[in-house]
Amino acid sequence: MCPACIATAALIFGGAISTGGLTALFAKKFHGDEAAAKPPNKAQQRRTKMASTKTELQQSKVVSHADWVTARKEFLAKEKEFTRLRDELSRQRRELPSEKVEKQYVFEGPKGKETLADLFDGRSQLIVYHFMMGPGWTEGCKSCSFLGDHFDGATIHLANRDVTLVVVSRAPYAEIEAFKKRMGWNFKWVSSFGTDFNYDYHVSFTKEEIAQGKVYYNYDMMEFPSEEAPGLSVFRKNANGEILHTYSSYARGLDILLGAYNFLDFAPKGRDEEGLAFSMSWVRHHDKYSEGYFVDPAQKYAAPAKTEGSCCSEGKQS
């Protein structure tokens, strides 16, 4: 999920077969037992690993145009019902109660120090995307970066519907800005380093919490493979200028933010993630896809490496 993530990292389990096993099966199927016994060279490994993660394109039934239209109209009725249900769910979401934000949070961003109230930037609604990038990380989470690639085009449209979108991470601002520049993004991204913000909204976990084996995420106690997690939190200002927390979503609740996934859901192969130990292991930072790109189906989630000598991992107010 999250992001989260996507959230999705909370659902990671070990793979049923190793990459080496898949290589052997592939070689045996296409080249016989003798080829399977020979260790593949690097080029063969790359091609095999790519092939091992690609779903066979399902051959759908071929029918006449009239029968195709009949089947399509039957499915259209289901799509319309889903749309109505989604609209109703969105309406009910807007009717959820709010809670007053009592604590003062100060972030660091391109304008220096800014409070949570400042982040609204003159609008009455604020959406915060909790981006997985902890102190000392050499780069942001790949899955969160996949979401980040969707943000720039949306900000102007959101602003004209009285909504400000801001991305928040626990990494110090200098580290955020360096990675943001590398990725070529323009959306507003601030640091919550030294505040309780990430912890209060349950997207960062202390060493003590992690040591207990389970952390509180997505409104439940669960195992989680990282000190950072993806999420989205929504706030509004009332007529008195008070800040209210209206909604937070985590894990596969962030799925709807991924426009690329929505496109893939229309394609014959869909998301093509079956058989992956971590469903988003195919995702790369957009500057890391290459001709030699391959997916290891046994790869589990792994947080980005930290810089040597990195300190201040907690970055939390005492």
Is residue 226 included in any domain, yes or no? yes
- From the number of C-beta atoms within 10 Å of its C-beta (0-12, 13-18, 19+), residue 88 rates as exposed
**Does residue 285 form part of some domain?**
no
The CA distance from 51 to 75, in Å, is 32
The yes-or-no verdict on residue 3 having pLDDT over 70 is: no
39-86 pLDDT per residue, tens: 444 434 433 344 444 566 777 899 999 999 999 999 999 999 999 999
- The average confidence (pLDDT) of the chain is 85
Residue 279 in tokens? 């469903």
Q: Are strands 163-169 and 243-250 parallel, antiparallel or unpaired?
A: unpaired
Alpha-carbon Rg for the chain, nearest whole angstrom, is 22
State the pLDDT confidence band at 148, using cuts at 50, 70 and 90: very high
Total structural domains within the chain:
1
Residue 46 lies inside a defined structural domain of this protein: no
Residue 85 lies in a domain: no
Range of the domain at 142: 100-260
Q: Strand 125-130 vs strand 163-169: parallel, antiparallel, or unpaired?
A: parallel
CB of 1 within 8 A of CB of 10?
yes
Contact at 8 Å (CB) between 248 and 168? no
Contact by Cβ (8 Å): 241, 117? yes
Q: What does the alpha-carbon distance between residue 26 and residue 49 come to, in Å, rounded to a whole number? A: 9
